[in-house]
Structure 1
Amino acid sequence: MKQSDIDDPLAMGGVRGWKLPLIPTKLSPPRGAAQPVERARLDARRSEILDTSLTLVIAPAGYGKTTLLAQWRAGLQAAGTAVAWVSLAEEDNSPHRLLSYIAAAFSAECPHLCDGTSEMLCAGPMVPVQAAEAVLLTELQVSERELVLVLDDYHCLGGPGVQLLMGHFLHNLPANVHLVLSSRTEPALNLTRLKVNRQLLRIGVEDIKFDLGDLGLFVRNSLNLVPSSSLLRDLHDVSEGWIAGVQLATLSPRFKSEPQLYLKEFSSKSKDLHAYLAEMVLDLLPGELETVLLRCAILDRFSAELCEVVAGVPDGKALLVELIKVNPFISALDEQGEWYRFHRLFLEFLRERLELAPTEDVMSLHRVACDWFSARSLWAEAVQHALACGENEKARDFIERCALDMLGRSRTGKLLSWGRRLPEDMLRKKPELRLAIAHAQVLMMDLRGASTMLEGLAESQADLGAGDEGFAVQQQIIRGLIFALDDHFDAALAQVLPVVERLRGLNITDREMLLNTLTLVYLYQGRFDQIDAVQSWQMPDPGMHFGVAYRHLLEGLGWMWRGRLDKAEYIFNKARQYSEQYAGRRSMVTIACIICVADLYYERNQLEEAEELLTSVHTVPLDLGISGIIQSGYRTMSRINQINGAKTEAWVLLDEMEAVAFKRRWPRLEANCRAQRIQSEVWSGDLSAARSELARLSCLSGHEQLDPVALRLIEDETLISRARICCVTGLNAELIENLGRRVADLEAVGVHYLGARMRMLLALLHWRAGERVAATQALLPVLALGKAQGLCRIFIDEVRHMPEALVGICNELSRVDASFKSYLDSLLAEAGAFRLPPAGQEGTAGGSRTTEEGGCGLSDLELLSSSEITEREKEILTQVANGLYNKEVARVLGISEGTVKWHLKNLYSKLSVSSRTQALKKGKLLGLIY
């Protein structure tokens, strides 16, 4: 055989001489089909091809179907599996030609495999295709070798003869042969039998699109650019993982120079994007379909009936079937297939083209949509279209109708945005709407703005309707919540208690606001029986409302403060599950639940789990949360950093916490911030700095107009901070007396968790005074609680600077009550597992040397170690920077959670850090992430 014959796949196995001319390049993947990134989760599914008869890869243009199949082909071939390939086109839409290409593809991969089929097909088109197919199937089965046939761009085939041939071929496929089809549309094949027999593998858009990890690898590999986590999120939001969209977006030099600004303009200003969508999608559709798509582009979502009205088609269901068949970037929003939407970039592309239409025509489409949505009480969408066509009065009326639902779903930002688009004089005539906006402002923690809005309502009695008692009740409830969130608990109760008797007559939003206000106030007043009573009130038709999650969250805090961490954890997780389902994972109530669970993990000394949770939410502005949640989040994260030897990071977090306290004018939050700094300075041995912070903390007790409960909480922080300093400096009899009295007060009302913290300090003060019996007696009740609930940090945090005291106390307690010995031994083990660096120095784990310019210096050893970091480790670090948990990182990368932890451990070692936070900081410093 000549060398030219070897190079020509059609010459292999006696294929040369076929009368039907075939194109050799169609028997292998096209140029440019190299995989831009290694995607482990998809590569792992390659082996599933050999377990099924048919694999379908279905997605619109530009999702990388061919690229994926080329990667699979290479992997299968490397493992010894023969993979025949055919790149299809419209000219292949005949049974004889298609079968010729299939036989040629197998012959090119396995010489002489299809000699019999070749001879039959060479005889010309007079040979029955069915006979040639039968010979082909026999030859494939006789080979007994695992064979894979890839038919790329199967959507190009539409003739009935071809579909009949492929249906018969698939039905009689030998067990050793596996068919893989890629298509933009659903193939016209009967697949029911394959589904029932589990012989069908389906890969769709959700499987094949880029996730954040894929995006990071693509940008790094293709552009030699290390993207920030925020840039990756923006790129993912714009592209929705559409690979061609990502490639087009990153082609421009502006992506490197001003990426965020460029991405905001990309969908509307990219000529390359518009040309691609026009050429690869719109121009391939029938003219009437293009018109329909442009009309439907005014809609964020559409149904069959809505398409009939807006697009002017007689049969909306038939239209959707046809649209789904050609698959122009349409996806279902529900399992029933009632509602659909366009891909974001495709929708923007259609809307750009729609702008070329006469303005009045577009306005009329919005009016039709507005009337359709309003007739079905879909008020939020009716608002959008009313505003779009300039019907402001309609929009105002619709906003009133859906305001409660928007509030219940925590869609406060959208509600405020609508309010800003309406003229002020129009709002003035609608007090109920202004009240809803005030409510939204409260939920966005704009307490001053909400108070101003309520004052304006009170001044406009003519607008309110003087005899509307229900309206006045709503104002009372909002004012009560404002007072409670602003740490004025007595004032809050004065507002809402008179309303309790009307509870059953309130709408769900006002009812949940009232119940949450009561629960929050009772929590800080230590009235836990009242919290239980509020939770037990049976409400008719509770409905779905994000306020329910907040109420459960506050209930969980009540149990934690009582020292019942087991029950608190159950309720926190219950609240989190509810909030994620109804308000979303990134909602403030969900984040609050995560912070509370992390706080609980910290107390149990599950530091890695606590840090993982807190790292995932730290990118969200926590100043939108309630004071106590903000306090827990910053405090716990700061302590974890301090424990890991990263005092700089710890103090940065406390600076952020203090900034929120100043912004919100919350003295209690500022007090906790200063108390955390005092503890940090005591741990570090800098008592002078600790005393200076204590002086500032003491001044906060004289803050004007402090609520008695808020004042008491600030005094508690001061008392605890004084005790921490005195545990080092010496005995203070008055302090011991005050501390003992406060412990008794707390335990009398059931605040056992804070009481236990104070008892630990009381025991240390007695021990330092040589009063061993008093020390052990002070600590015995805490040990009973700690043993039952797994308390840990409550003990070892207070002896971090003096572990010998804990050793002495534990030895004494073991003699007093031997039942605590194993628990005490575990505390000693935890306390001995770490040591602080000398005062004024950072720990080696995560500690960094600050340069004169305020940056961080890196040694040659650190730079050398970081150069050894693998691509997989960079991948995982990027995912962690994006706020993903270990389980989510594992799912995204297609590896096990244990593998993620193993890589993180290696990464920490190479970066000389001991925590996620430190790894992220060092990774940014080294340019591994941004």
Structure 2
Amino acid sequence: MSDSEITLKITPPRLPRGAVERERLMEFWDDVHERTAIQLVAPAGFGKTTVLLQWRRRWLEHGAVVAWVGCDAEDDPARFVTALSRSVHSASGRLGPGSTRSGIAALTDLLSEIAQRGAQTVIVIDEAERLPAATVRTCVQYLLLNAPANLSVAIGSRAALPLRVAELAAKGNLATLSTDDLRLRFEESLSILEKSLGPKLTLDERALLHEATEGWPIGLQLAIAMAEHDADPGAAVRSLSARRGHLQDYFVESLLSRLPASTVALLTRIAILDDVNAELCELVSGQPDGDAQLQQIIGETPIVIVGEDTDWVRLHPLARDFLLSRFEQLPRHEQSELHARVSHWYARHERFHEAARHALAAGDDLLSQTYASRSLWTLGTQGKIAEAREWLERIPAAMLARDSGLKLGAAFVLAATDRNADALPIAREVIDDPAASPASRVEASRVAAGATIYADHLGLLPELLARWLPMLPEHGEPLYAVSSLNARAMAALHAGDTRTLRELLDQAEHHGETGSLRLAAGLGRMLRAMSHLWDGNPELAAATLRHVVAQSEQESGRRSMVASLQASVLAAALLRVGRPGEALSLLANRLDVIEQWGAPDNILLAYQTLARSALGEGDERRALQVLEEMDALAERRQLPRLRIHSLADRIRIHAPHNARETISALTKALDETVAEMQRDELRPLLPECQLAAAIAKADAALARHAVDEAERLLDAGDALATSLRRHGDTRSIMTLRSVVAWKRGDETAKPLLKEAIHLATVAGDAWLLVHAHPLALDMAKDWEAGVVVAEPKPARASKLAAGPRPAVERPLLVRNGVLTSKESEVLGLLARGLSNKAIARILDVSGETVKWHLKNLFQKLSATTRKHAVDRARLLGLLQEG
């Protein structure tokens, strides 16, 4: 090997332009950078080399000697050791000839030299999967087993190397990053997109891009390259496809050109499968030895995703899209034959949803309908309502009419949609039929309960439950027991009996959460968090759901029904604890799912979160638009409760401006809609609607200085909130009562507000003062009632009353104030226009520390730029004017 070849092998590649340093991976480095072996194992495009280059820089900053070796198929043991020795000597500044021996003997000399030097030394071996087996078995293995204490070896490889590392792992000297570790998290994708495309994409479009690329770094970068050169980046994202442009070029160059023709042919045919195992490999290829075929595509392709169950793999969606375009070029008869084969296989394994889809693709409509009819129940229990609804529309009415079980399955699917009114009559017909079997009547009761909840007709639940519960012992299927407990929990929630709700959910959890219980168990967890929100304890609600949502996303996908509905509750909780950025990210590219498959409570929480986040930004126009959209949805779905909350929140937005005519029209509509709640099926929801109306009208009364009227409304609202145990509303009313007292000059104003602030602080409610009344924040500042501000001069109440509600993005109600002392110092210097370096010099800290404080400031102030952070701080009274 010539000197020039060695030089190229040991020279690290250029760090990609715009590469984002991922905090999570840097924290991993902090924990493991002194271990003997660190492996990064993932397919192409997952950023292994980029991470190694960033780690290399971090090691160098810590004074380590870092050697780099890029591998290829020609690296036999002698060549590999030669390159390794030259790299270590070059990195350490010792350019002598090195060992006069070769092979393992030379490697021994190199390790001895590293040990004698004593300095922390790192050897980075990139693209190690290209090494010949003999080199891995001898040199790399020897390197790891004989590494001195001051040597770390970092290995980047597309596939796990056949190394004996059990002893290293047992002694805590091995660390591994896998594909899932290197996959971009949602927030990381958003950060990269913000840096690359700025405001060119909406939050929903960024979420869509993350979901389409599934955290595949190279996929995201290719999509960014496509979007940034498009006149309409948003449209480009919405029509993202691997069948054209940069993505197609990537797959042609990295996939087709580098793989054997037999492997390309196999990939093209398995592209019709959602997931694939060895048996299906044999089926579509027509060749024996499916295990070998599966291992071949895992080892040779960068686009195969291996799940927790390693018997099954799937293609990355973008790669699958590209390969399907190739499949569609096959002769039509071959396509049909493959789909038919696969359909029969799925039917034999009782996976009727997939069997129906492939039968349809094979052109067998009748068989497709038969399989589809058998898939409805399973899809429904798994929460795959969209897929079930799609099949339902293909099943002939005659087939539904002659099969009562199928009709009930269809009714369950309809119950969880905007067609729930069609489901209740079907279910009632079975419930009332004395000839129906006990199992059919239990299933019908489940369908009827679901339909009433989705229609907001909770007044019908007691009668349904009275007939349903006695039948349960006759049918031992756990699903029906859990569903009945969930229905009773929903009734308990709106009665304000959250303690009973949680007792019911405790009973439901004993039945488990797998199989047919997945949907019911997921909804039960959501109800538990909803009960904490009802109690006015958003911090506990967020803690209850955070990991649950992540698990649901991992199991079913980010836009799955269960994950989206749980996210609507978690977003509401996070907003109230002062984390609006996270709340909006949770709802990104999910609102349509929540609208279509969510119960009224989910829809209400999602829309209120969006509206209140807009208010926090001072964007009243956007908040009103969101609330009007909710009103239109309420009209379409015939959900007057949603309309009441839309009207009430709009009144509260207009109240500080004393927009009398607008408020009068909204109040008239509010009173008329509240009157509708007197209907028997809606009556259980009447008290909470009256409560929302009372608070809104009290706000309006305060705006026109009708203090006595406001007090009467607040007294009525307080009684309602107390009876419903809605402690968050109780605190809001207490705050409004303090405003009433303040307007009267009553000495009770201060203790009332202090008590409300104390209760909110305990519950982690960051939005109390902002959402309660614009004067309340000024009053709190004046009295220093638990609110710490950087500006000694209080803002005037008239100023707040005349403008939009202040944009508080983090809790003002923490005992140590909004910002730490160091953050306040950084903010003050930022306001003077100083650079990070200048701030670091003045505060005598590192540049990284300044960046860390800025990140915290941006999060607390919900700011995106330095200027935005300063403007937000002035708005909040955290900086003196001028």
1:901 paired to 2:856? yes
Secondary structure (helix, strand or coil) at the match of 1:545 reads helix
> In the aligned structure 2, how far is the partner of 1:667 from the partner of 1:189?
65
Query: Would the alpha carbon gap of residues 897 and 408 (structure 1) be closer, same or farther in structure 2, given more than 3 Å must change?
Result: farther
How far apart, CA to CA, are the structure 2 residues paired with 1:280 and 1:431?
53
The DSSP-based 3-state class of the residue aligned with 2:393 is: helix
1:655-688 deviation digits (Å, cap 9, x = unpaired)? 3332332332333322232223333344344455
Match of 1:23 in 2: 5
Q: Which has the larger radius of gyration?
A: 1
Q: 1:399-425 CA deviation, whole Å, 9 max, x = no partner? A: 444433322222111211233344555
Partner residue in 2 for 1:358:
331
1:911 pairs with one of 854, 858, 868: 868
Q: Is the 8 A contact 2:200 2:233 kept in 1?
A: no
For residue 598 of structure 1, report the CA deviation from its aligned partner: 6.6
Question: For residues 171 and 613 of structure 1, do their structure 2 counterparts lie closer, same or farther at Cα, with a shift above 3 Å needed?
Answer: same
CA spacing shift, 1:797–1:423, aligned 2, 3 Å: closer
* Matched residue, 1:520: 490
Query: Alpha-carbon deviations, 1:374-399, whole Å to 9, x = none?
Result: 33333443333333333444444444
Residue aligning to 1:10:
none
* 2: CA distance, partners of 1:776 / 1:867: 36
- The structure 2 residue matched to 1:301, chosen from 275, 290, 295, is 275
Aligned-pair CA distance for 1:501: 1.7
Task: Tell me the equivalent position of 1:850.
Answer: none
1:456-497, CA deviations, whole angstroms, 9 ceiling, x for partnerless residues? 8999x9xx9975575466445434443444343434444443
- DSSP 3-state at the match of 2:20: coil
Structure 1 residues 794 and 25 mapped into 2: Cα distance closer, same or farther (>3 Å)? closer
Q: What are the within-5 Å matches in structure 2 for residues 278-293 of structure 1?
A: 278-293=252-267
1:347 aligns with 2:317: no
Matched residue, 1:700: 673
Contact 1:55-1:179 at 8 Å conserved across structures: yes
Matches within 5 A, 1:126-141: 129-141=103-115
- 2:340 paired with 1:371: no
Three-state SS of the structure 2 residue aligned to 1:372 is: helix
**Aligned with residue 608 of structure 1, among 559, 578, 586:** 578
C-alpha separation between the residues in 2 aligned to 1:109 and 1:735? 76
Matched residues in 1 for 2:625 and 2:93: separation? 68
Decide whether aligned partners of structure 1 residues 239 and 25 sit closer, same or farther in structure 2, where only a CA change above 3 A counts: farther
Please state if 1:478 is matched with 2:478: no
Q: CA deviation at 1:333?
A: 0.6
- Matching residue's letter, 1:418: W
Distance 1:373 1:759, change over 3 A: same
CA distance in 2 between counterparts of 1:272 and 1:790 reads 47
* Other structure's SS at 1:56 match: strand
Residue 59 of structure 2 is aligned to residue 52 of structure 1: no
Task: Give the conservation status (yes or no) of the 8 Å contact 1:185–1:327.
Answer: no
Instruction: Give 1:666's aligned amino acid.
Output: L
Q: Could you tell me which amino acid in structure 1 is paired with residue 389 of structure 2? A: L
Q: State the TM-score, normalized to the length of structure 2.
A: 0.76
CA distance in 2, matches of 1:68, 1:56: 12
Q: What is the correspondence of 1:670-819 to structure 2 with a 5 Å cutoff? A: 670-687=643-660, 689-703=662-676, 706=679, 707-710=682-685, 714-726=689-701, 800-801=774-775
Indicate yes or no: 2:58 matched with 1:89.
Answer: no
2:19 to 34, 37, 45: 37
* Cα distance in 1 for residues equivalent to 2:559 and 2:518: 16
CA distance in 2, matches of 1:259, 1:114: 54
Say if 1:866 and 1:285 are closer, same or farther in 2 by CA, change over 3 A: farther
Instruction: Please state if 1:403 is matched with 2:358.
Output: no
* Amino acid across the alignment from 1:911: H
Aligned residue pairs: how many? 826
Structure 1 equivalent of residue 595 of structure 2? 623
Q: Is the 8 A contact 1:761 1:798 kept in 2?
A: yes
Give the SS at the match of 1:547.
Answer: helix
Partner Cα distance (2:595, 2:361) in 1: 33
Residue by residue over 1:681-726, the C-alpha shift from the partner in whole angstroms, topping out at 9 and shown as x without a partner, is: 4434445543443233233355498344455555554444454455
User: In the aligned structure 2, how far is the partner of 1:370 from the partner of 1:353?
Assistant: 20
**Residue 413 (structure 1) aligns with:** 386
SS of aligned partner of 1:351: helix
Q: Which amino acid aligns with 2:85?
A: A
Cα deviations by residue, 1:619-664 (Å, 9 ceiling, x for unpaired) = 5325343334444554466456657755444433433332332332
What SS does the aligned partner of 2:82 have?
Answer: helix
The yes-or-no answer on 1:490 pairing with 2:454 is: no
Deviation at 1:729, TM superposition (A): 5.7
Identity %: 22
User: Cα deviation per residue 1:158-181 (whole Å; 9 max; x = unaligned)?
Assistant: 253673244334433344444343
| Structure 2, unaligned runs of 5 or more | 810-829, 838-847, 877-882
C-alpha displacement of 1:30: 7.1
SS of 2:230 mapped into structure 1: helix
CA distance in 1 between partners of 2:126 and 2:272 (Å) = 34
Change (3 A) 1:136 1:735: closer
Decide whether aligned partners of structure 1 residues 44 and 27 sit closer, same or farther in structure 2, where only a CA change above 3 A counts.
farther
- Partner Cα distance (2:672, 2:38) in 1: 71
**Which residue number in structure 2 is paired with residue 926 of structure 1?**
none
CA contact 1:645–1:846 (8 Å) conserved in 2 = no
Matched, 1:837 2:809: no
Distance change in 2, residues 1:652/1:98 (3 Å): same
Structure 1 window deviating more from structure 2 (504-513 vs 368-377): it is 504-513
Question: Secondary structure in 2 aligned to 1:198?
Answer: coil
Which amino acid is 2:490 matched to?
Answer: L
Could you tell me which of 315, 318, 329 is aligned with 2:303?
329
Long gaps (5+) in structure 1: 1-17, 121-127, 811-823, 848-864, 873-892, 920-930
1:450 alignment partner in structure 2: 420
Q: TM-score, normalised by structure 1?
A: 0.72
Report the AA paired with residue 901 of structure 1.
Answer: N
Mapped partners of 2:488, 2:531: distance in 1: 13
Alpha-carbon RMSD: 5.3
What's the offset of the Cα at 1:795? 8.8
Per-residue displacement from partner, 1:538-594 (whole Å, max 9, x unpaired)? 798454333344446556656766xx556x965775466556535666556656556
Partners of 1:34 and 1:255 in 2: how far apart? 19
Change (3 A) 1:745 1:161: closer
Equivalent-residue separation in structure 1 for 2:773 and 2:683 (angstroms): 31
- SS of the equivalent of 2:350 reads coil
Pick one of 256, 269, 278 that aligns with 2:243. 269
What is the match of residue 141 of structure 2?
Answer: 167
Which whole-Å CA distance do the structure 1 matches of 2:9 and 2:835 have between them?
36
Query: Hey, what's the Cα distance between the residues in 2 that align with 1:237 and 1:508?
Result: 34
SS at match of 1:353: helix
CA distance in 2, matches of 1:804, 1:180: 57
Amino acid at match of 1:488: H
Does structure 1 residue 189 correspond to structure 2 residue 163?
yes
Cα deviation code 1:25-70 (max 9, x no counterpart): 5244476654541324345666778513334333333444444444
